[in-house]
Amino acid sequence: EALVPLEHHAALSAFAAQGFIAGALYPAMRRDGDGFHDYVVMSRTAEHIDFRGLVVDPPLRPFLDSYVSAWASTHLPVREVAS
């Protein structure tokens, strides 16, 4: 896992290019002078995550759906349709 400042777009892109996925956002996590900075937790695993049978509380469903979509687009092959 890596904790990356949200404003560091190049670092976030570099992590994403290496298969990392944004797993959490911490708004106003750290104070710097008169302001606060947002951070993103980027994570990567070599294990294939099995989401079958997972029970999720309704308020967490949108987050899980977004995470699963990001995980699938990063780790599963894209099917191409020949025309």
For residue 19, the model assigns a pLDDT of: 86
For residue 14, the model assigns a pLDDT of: 95
Query: Which amino acid, 57?
Result: D
CB 33 within 8 A of CB 9: no
Residue 64 domain flag: yes
CB 70 within 8 A of CB 16: no
CB count, 10 Å around CB of 9?
10
The model scores a pTM over 0.85? no
For residue 83, the model assigns a pLDDT of: 60
pLDDT in tens, the chain (83 residues): 999 999 999 999 999 899 898 888 899 988 988 899 999 999 988 777 777 888 889 998 888 888 888 888 887 877 766 66
Q: How far apart are the first and last CA of the chain?
A: 41
Residues 6+ apart with CB under 8 A from 47: none
DSSP 59: G
The domain of 67 spans 2-44+55-75
For residue 40, the model assigns a pLDDT of: 94
Number of domains in the chain: 1
